[in-house]
Amino acid sequence: MILSDSDLQAVWLTLRLAGVVTLILLLLGTPIAWWLARTRGWWKGPVGAVVALPLVLPPSVLGFYLLLAMGPEGPFGHFTQALGLGLLPFTFWGLVVASAFYSLPFMVQPLQAAFESIGDRPLEAAATLRASPLDAFFTVAVPLALPGFLTAGILTFAHTVGEFGVVLMIGGNLPGVTRVASVQIYDHVEALEYAEAHHLAGAMLIFSFLVLLGLYAWRPNPRG
Amino acid sequence: MEEIRARFRLDWPGFALDVDQVFPGRGVTALFGQSGSGKTTLLRCVAGLERAAGGHLSVCGEIWQDHRHWLPTHRRPLGYVFQEANLFPHLNVLGNLRYGMKRSASAQQKSMDQAIELLGISHLLERKPDRLSGGERQRVGIARALAVAPKILLMDEPLAALDLKRKQEILPYLERLHRELDIPVFYVSHAMEEVVRLADHLVLLEEGRAIASGGLSEMLARLDLPTAHSDDAGVVIEAEIALHDRDYALTRLDFAGRSLWVGKLDQPEGTRVRARVLARDVSIALELPRGTSIANILEASIVEISDEGPDRVNVLMDAGQNLLSRITRRSRDMLGLKPGMKVCAQVKSVALTR
């Protein structure tokens, strides 16, 4: 086996983090994307901009503010302490929250584009066929936006796998808790263990390429 | 309460709808007008797809909208046919038909089976919409609307997106619908040839207002309406097939003690048919002409004459049913035509519409 136990631990932690973040964002990002795609209110602009912020902000900036917010003096820190959850920085769930913010646009934007491309007309048809708005959402909008869901899910997962800066700010470097693959590679390089760094980095490279290949080469066709 | 009362007022940038109208609760009502006249918007208000604040709508005694109530579209017992079918692309034809049927309290398997039979789509049930022709898609769209067993059928220019050949393919199904359905139908159209084939009532819309409404034949005979100014102004005559002349391959239609000869029809004697007679195909003589090849000459009396541009006039006659003729102003003066005069109307051509 080329990868050491600590490498495998980091890989497993990375996949777990990306999986949890993707699931959470699927639940949170879908209503946001739906609202952004359907609203004509003036809130659309500001909300869209906030969602897109992680695309342009340096991860360290985002990580810094999240660290403050989740810290003992931050509003979110007060909240988690009041709930008896303690403080989130340097825990797995702290990483989850930070990654969810960081990957939000990768979930929301493809979904928003998919919902917008459906347009009003299929939903109007559903309404004239007795489907309530919620019913129409699940039986018409979701099936028609399926390629968008797939794109959004894969991009979110892959982007979370690849993050580094936010993880370092929020999670630090605790083996098995917050030390994800990208941080592990960094550690290898710091320790001049280039061979080990090669193995893990190579594995990440192949993984990323395969994911993107799947995304670009294969598109499901909801029209069958 | 077999009627539909609608009052809608909408004020959009560049367009206003202002309609306050009672529609008959049976038969086919054509909402006719140019594009931008508000006919589709009116239909969408009836369906609840647009919401005109402060509007009122009651359909055969049920209130769908007033100052307190607003019934959302999915709770209205209607069927809606979109201009471009608007089928769900992820479902096959059967899935599309079942979508509404499953959700409609009034629908049963029977209503869906009837819709499939009525539109002749039983061989298409397994296909996806993108494997259908435009005409087939529209037939499925109509069947899908009927499968919910609606109390009113709303059709938004169901033929407008189709070419002439596809139109001819669908029109017989629409006529069949008209014969076999006993629910009111609103039919939005800007094509007079569809209206004269399908409609019983006509509502004329112009710039968001209903400028006139009434039975089809009386509306077509009104000289003050835009319909009388168009090139294909004309009336419809409701007649009965009296006899077939197999020798000459002709059929005689009788109405009000008069008859018209037309090319031989297939329907049996006694069938009620509707014939369209264009104003430009009717000329006027003072006496019964002799030695003419025109077979259809009807005794008529002049009811009204109105100028139609600098050179022509429209003449409305009573020939048992209304008859319109468009002649030159010069002819009118040379013949000295006046209301009340007895004349002979020569009909050059008759188009059977159904």
Strand order in the sheet with B201-206: B62-65, B56-59, B3-12, B15-24, B209-215, B201-206, B28-32, B185-189, B152-156, B78-81
Residue that has been written with the tokens 């647009």 in this structure: B50
Does the pTM surpass 0.90? The reply is: no
Report how far Cα A84 is from the mean position of its chain's Cα atoms: 26
User: Is B272 at the interface with chain A, CB within 8 A?
Assistant: no
Q: Which residues of A touch B (CB under 8 A)?
A: 121-122, 124-133, 135-136, 139-140, 143-144, 222-224
Contacts of B137 in chain A (CB under 8 A): none
Secondary structure of residue B277 in the 3-state scheme = strand
Which parts of chain A sit beneath pLDDT 50? 222-224
Contact criterion met (CB below 8 Å) for B170 and B162: yes
pLDDT at A224: 43
Contacts of A134 (CB under 8 A, 6+ apart): none
Q: Which of B74, B130, B144 sits opposite A132 (nearest CB)?
A: B74
Domains of chain B, residue spans = 3-228, 234-352
Residues A9 and A200: beta-carbon distance below 8 Å: no
Inter-chain touch A127–B78, beta carbons under 8 Å: no
Q: How many CB atoms lie within 10 A of CB B193?
A: 15
Task: Say whether B148 and A130 touch across the interface (CB within 8 A).
Answer: yes
Cβ–Cβ of B90/A224 closer than 8 Å?
yes
Query: Which residue segment(s) compose the domain that A68 sits in?
Result: 5-38+59-218
The distance of Cα B101 from the centroid of its chain, to the nearest Å, equals 27
Q: Is residue A81 part of a domain?
A: yes
Q: Do A140 and B88 touch (CB under 8 A)?
A: yes
Interhelix angle for B93-103 vs B109-119, to 10°? 140
- Does residue A52 fall inside a structural domain? no
Does A127 sit within 8 Å of B72, measured CB to CB?
yes
Q: How far is A42 from chain B (nearest CA, A)?
A: 18
Neighbours of B333 (CB within 10 A): 10
| Cα dist from B339 to A2, B79, B211, B236, B317, whole Å | 107, 46, 26, 21, 9
Do the domains B234-352 and B3-228 match in fold? Answer: no
Contact B148 A129 (CB under 8 A): yes
Interface test with B, best of A121, A128, A132, A223 (most B CBs within 10 A): A128
Is A135 in contact with B103 (Cβ distance < 8 A)? yes
Cβ within 8 Å, pair A128-B128: no
| Residue type, position B352, single letter | L
- From the list B131, B147, B142, B135, the residue with the least C-alpha distance to B99 is B147
Contact B208, B15 (CB under 8 A): yes
Q: Which of B50, B74, B87, B137 to mutate to test the interface with A (most CBs of A within 10 A)?
A: B74
Residue B130 half-sphere exposure toward CB, CA atoms < 13 A: 7
The rounded distance, in Å, linking the Cα atoms of A18 and B285 is: 90
Tell me how many domains chain A contains.
1
Give every CB contact of residue B291 below 8 A, 6+ residues apart in sequence.
none
Work out the minimum CA distance from B100 to partner chain A, whole angstroms: 4
Q: Do A129 and B100 touch (CB under 8 A)?
A: yes
> What was the pLDDT predicted at B354?
62
Interval B97-146: pLDDT, tens: 999 999 998 888 888 999 999 999 999 999 999 999 999 999 999 999 99
Whether the Cβ atoms of residue B104 and residue A130 lie closer than 8 Å to each other: yes
Architecture of domain B3-228: 3-Layer(aba) Sandwich (3.40)
Residues of chain B with C-beta less than 8 angstroms from the C-beta of A129: 74, 99-100, 103-104, 144, 148
Report residue B182 as tokens: 């006993």
Residues of B in contact with A128 (CB under 8 A): 47, 49, 73-74, 78-80, 100, 145
Residue of B82, B103, B130 to mutate when probing chain A, most A C-beta within 10 A: B103
- Residue type for position A42: W
β strands within chain B, DSSP E: 3-12, 15-24, 28-32, 56-59, 62-65, 78-81, 152-156, 185-189, 201-206, 209-215, 234-245, 250-255, 258-263, 272-278, 282-285, 296-308, 312-319, 321-328, 342-347, 351-352
Our CA angle for B130, B131, B132, nearest 5°, is: 90
Residue B121 near residue B129 (C-beta atoms within 8 A):
no
Q: Answer yes or no: do A122 and B148 touch at CB < 8 A.
A: no
Please state, in angstroms and rounded to a whole number, the distance separating the CA atoms of residues A108 and A33.
Answer: 5
CB B30 within 8 A of CB B198: yes
Q: How far apart are CA B234 and CA B230, in angstroms?
A: 9
**ipTM exceeds 0.85, yes or no:** yes
Query: Does B145 touch chain A if contact means CB atoms closer than 8 Å?
Result: yes
| Domain assignment present for A224 | no
- Residue A77 C-alpha, separation from nearest chain B C-alpha, in angstroms: 44
Query: DSSP state, B265?
Result: P
What Cα–Cα distance (Å) separates residue B273 from each residue in A166, B108, B203, B255? 79, 33, 22, 10
Angle between helices B93-103 and B134-146 (to 10 degrees): 20
Residue A133 to residues A29, A123, A139, A199, B144, Cα–Cα distance (Å): 18, 8, 10, 50, 19
Topology classification of domain B234-352: OB fold (Dihydrolipoamide Acetyltransferase, E2P) (2.40.50)
Q: B87 and A125: CB-CB below 8 Å? A: yes
- Is the minimum CB–CB distance between B87 and chain A shorter than 8 Å? yes
Instruction: Give B-chain residues touching A222 at CB under 8 angstroms.
Output: 89-90
Q: How do strand B56-59 and strand B152-156 relate by DSSP bridges? A: unpaired
**CATH code of the domain covering residue A112:** 1.10.3720.10
User: Is A118 inside a domain boundary?
Assistant: yes
- The answer to the question of residue A97 being in a domain is yes
Cβ atoms of B204 and B300 within 8 Å: the answer is no
Residue A50: inside a domain, yes or no? Answer: no
Give mean pLDDT in consecutive 10-residue pieces for chain B, a chain of 354 residues.
89 92 94 93 96 92 92 96 94 96 88 91 95 93 94 94 86 86 93 91 95 94 92 92 93 92 90 92 92 89 93 95 95 95 92 72
- The nearest alpha carbon in chain A to B44 belongs to A124
Residue of A nearest to B85 (CA): A125
Per-position DSSP letters for A10-22, written without gaps between them: HHHHHHHHHHHHH
CB contact under 8 A, B86 and A139: no
